[in-house]
Amino acid sequence: MRLVISCVLLFGAAGGALYWHVTRDLGAEFDGSLRATGSSLLALIEQDDNRVRLTPSPGSMPQFEQKQGPEVFELLGEDGREIARSRSLGTATLPVAAGLYNVTLPDGRIVRCANLPYTVTDEDEEAHTAGAQPNPKVVLIVGRDRLPLDATFASIRSSMMVVGAGALAMLVLLIPLGVRAGLEPVKQFGVQVSMVNAGSLATRFPVVTLPAELHPIVAGLNALLARLEAAFERQRRFTATAAHEFRTPLAELKTVAEVSLAVPASEAERTQAWRDILSVTTRMQSLATCLLQLTRTENGAASLKIETIPLLQMLREAWGPFEKGAAERGIELVAEVPPGVAFQTDAALLRVILGNLCGNAASHAATGSPFTVAACENGSAVEVRFRNKAADIAEGDVEHLFERFWRKDAARHDNRHHGLGLSISAEIAKVLGGSLLARMTAEREIEFLLTLPTRPD
């Protein structure tokens, strides 16, 4: 509808402009011709014995001679006194106005008039001797019936309106049909898109069947579906894996409860049952906390609180809880961190990364081996390398280190090792604008490289 209205308005404006141009040009031509006629009349003005006369020869200008003829004239002296008039004017007089103007005569004719002032010159040179009278000035009003011109205008007007109306009618019929036909593939496309749901994210739309203008949209939509499919698949795997991780602690709780109810127990056995329940629920709480932390970090829900953090101090704080246990295994922290190295970042999140890396080293480094942490500034970032001898990690395990729930010993069940620490640390590093990578060195050491900007973006 808007398109139709727009076309109507456009057609109307174009038609009006065309009509205006045509009538203007025709009118100008009419006026030019009128002036030329007036000039011809002026050429016939002569002065004789100080009398100005306009006497066309009979038959030379028939348009002025017939009664109510198509052209009229009136010659007036400087004092306004009529000098001559055309027979076609009859008894009417032409008003005097400047330039070109329209006059309605008593008989109803509408006449276009031209006011032509003229100074009569005497052809006899002797009249210009000293003492002669100045040349008289006259005003010639010449007019022409506008009826043919106006009829032409009307004809043009009606023709344009008929043709325009016909064209508009065709447009009103054809535009919706054309638009409907052109949009049919888009409509089909819309139906297909509306049928996409969480279970059909593998759908991809063929580009070639749609108009070229829609290709970028379809390509973008296909890319969006690919991202959604990957995200849903990640979520599905995560949910399945998380549910799997809860099965064993749930089985433990259920077994403890059922056996406690069915089998008579001594006081010591009852106490052990409660200890078992506490141990399992503590592990489940730890797992749930890790999962929530991972989800929040991924979704960027963690709002960053930026402060200046000296790395060496935070590293020592992170190592603190593990120091005693590590010392029993002969594992010692060797910090090669210049005192001036600091980050402007979120302290709580950085603490999580350092805690996970320190905990991993304390638990998994080879007995009696050092845990070395070295930091150096590299432009606007700081690179921190965490290195320890790999007790039971092989080269092929490195690519799995950041996978969720991956553990080298897949069956280990304890309160800390859920296989999520490195995954969480890597996500946090991304949130802080950096990265966490791992590699095996030639000396069979596992090295984690944490790169963080010294300032947030």
Partner 1 sequence: MRILIVEDSEILRRNISRSLRHAGYAVDVAEDGEAGLASAQLNAYDALVLDVMLPKLDGLSLLRRLRGAGAATHVLLLTARDTVADRVAGLRHGADDYLVKPFAMEELLARIESLCRRAYGAKSPAIEIGPLAIDLSARTISREGREVSLTAREWRLLEYLALRRGEVVPRAEIEAHIYDDLVEPMSNVVDTAVYALRRKIGAGLIKTRRGLGYVMEGD
For partner 1, give the closer residue by CB, 44 or 265.
265
Q: Tell me if 267 contacts partner 1 by CB under 8 A.
A: no
410 binds partner 1 (CB under 8 A): yes
For the four alpha carbons of 376, 382, 388 and 392, in that order, the dihedral sign comes to: negative
Both tokens assigned to 272? 């052990």
Residue 254 found at the interface with partner 1 (CB under 8 A): yes
355-360 contacts, C-beta under 8 A, 24 or more apart: 355/318, 355/321, 356/421, 356/422, 356/424, 356/425, 357/318, 357/386, 357/425, 357/448, 357/450, 358/315, 358/318, 358/319, 358/322, 358/333, 359/322, 359/416, 359/421, 360/421, 360/422
**How many residues form the binding site for partner 1 (CB under 8 A)?**
26
- Least CB distance from residue 396 to partner 1, whole Å? 17
Residue type, 267: E
172 burial type by CB count under 10 A (0-12 exposed, 13-18 middle, 19+ buried): middle
Using the rule CB under 8 A, is 219 a contact of partner 1?
Answer: no
Question: Of the candidates 39, 272, 295, 454, which one interacts with partner 1 according to CB under 8 A?
Answer: 272
Q: Which of 157, 329, 385, 413 binds partner 1 (CB under 8 A)?
A: 413
Q: Does 268 bind partner 1 (CB under 8 A)?
A: no
Instruction: Report residue 140: phi and psi, to 5°.
Output: -105, 120
* Shortest distance, position 364 Cβ to partner 1, whole Å: 14
Task: Verify binding: residue 256, partner 1, rule CB under 8 A.
Answer: yes
CA distance 444 to 448: 13
Chain residues 149-208 in contact with partner 1, contact rule CB under 8 A = none
Among 71, 74, 145, 252, binds partner 1 (CB under 8 A): 252
Q: Which residue type occupies 122? A: D
Question: Among 167, 231, 251, 394, which residue interacts with partner 1 (rule: CB under 8 A)?
Answer: 251
**Cα–chain-centroid distance for residue 398?**
44
Side-by-side strand order, sheet with 445-453 = 332-336, 370-378, 381-389, 445-453, 435-440
Residues numbered 15-34 forming contacts with partner 1, rule: CB under 8 A: none
Q: Which residue from 242, 280, 373, 432 is in contact with partner 1, where contact means CB under 8 A?
A: 280
When the beta carbons of 189 and 405 are compared against partner 1, the nearer one is 405
**Residue 203 burial by Cβ neighbours in a 10 Å radius (0-12, 13-18, 19+):** middle
Residue 435 within binding range of partner 1, rule CB under 8 A: no
Query: What kind and span of H or E run contains 110?
Result: strand 110-119
Taking CB under 8 A as the rule, does residue 397 contact partner 1?
no
Shortest CB 322 distance to partner 1, Å:
22
**DSSP label at residue 218:** H
Q: Per CB under 8 A, does 244 bind partner 1?
A: yes
Nearest-angstrom CA–CA distance, 160 and 21? 13
279 scored as a contact of partner 1 (CB under 8 A): yes
259 touching partner 1, by CB under 8 A: yes
> Which one of the spans 14-22, 140-148, 165-173, 272-280 is the region binding partner 1 (CB under 8 A)?
272-280
DSSP 379: T
115 and 139 Cβ atoms separated by less than 8 Å: yes
Residue of 203, 184, 181, 183 lying closest to 193 (CA atoms): 203
| Residue 88: both structure tokens together | 């076609």
Helix ranges (DSSP H) in 299-366: 311-328, 347-364
Strand, helix or coil at 299? coil
98 contacts partner 1 (rule: CB under 8 A): no
Q: Which one, 329 or 413, has the nearer CB to partner 1?
A: 413
Stretch that binds partner 1, among 131-139, 190-198, 207-215, 406-414 (CB under 8 A): 406-414
Encoded one letter per residue, x for contact with partner 1 by CB under 8 A and - for no contact, window 317-356 reads ----------------------------------------
**Distance of alpha carbon 140 from alpha carbon 76, whole angstroms:** 6
Task: CB nearer to partner 1: give 43 or 240.
Answer: 240
Task: Output the smallest distance, CB 249 to partner 1, in A.
Answer: 9
Q: How far is the CB of 410 from partner 1 (least distance, A)?
A: 6
Residue 235 CB, shortest distance to partner 1, in Å, is 18
Applying CB under 8 A, among 29, 150, 258, 328 the residue interacting with partner 1 is 258
Closest contact distance (angstroms) between CB of 290 and partner 1 is 18
Query: C-beta of 273: minimal distance to partner 1 in Å?
Result: 8
Q: In this chain, which of 98, 208, 263, 268 binds partner 1, going by CB under 8 A?
A: 263
The residue from 187, 215, 227, 412 that contacts partner 1 (CB under 8 A) is: 412
Radius of gyration over every alpha carbon of the chain, rounded to an integer in angstroms: 52
Closest C-alpha to 405, from 392, 417, 390: 417
Stretch that binds partner 1, among 184-192, 258-266, 319-327, 360-368 (CB under 8 A): 258-266
Q: Which residues bind partner 1 (CB under 8 A)?
A: 244, 247-248, 250-256, 258-259, 262-264, 269, 272-273, 276, 279-280, 409-413
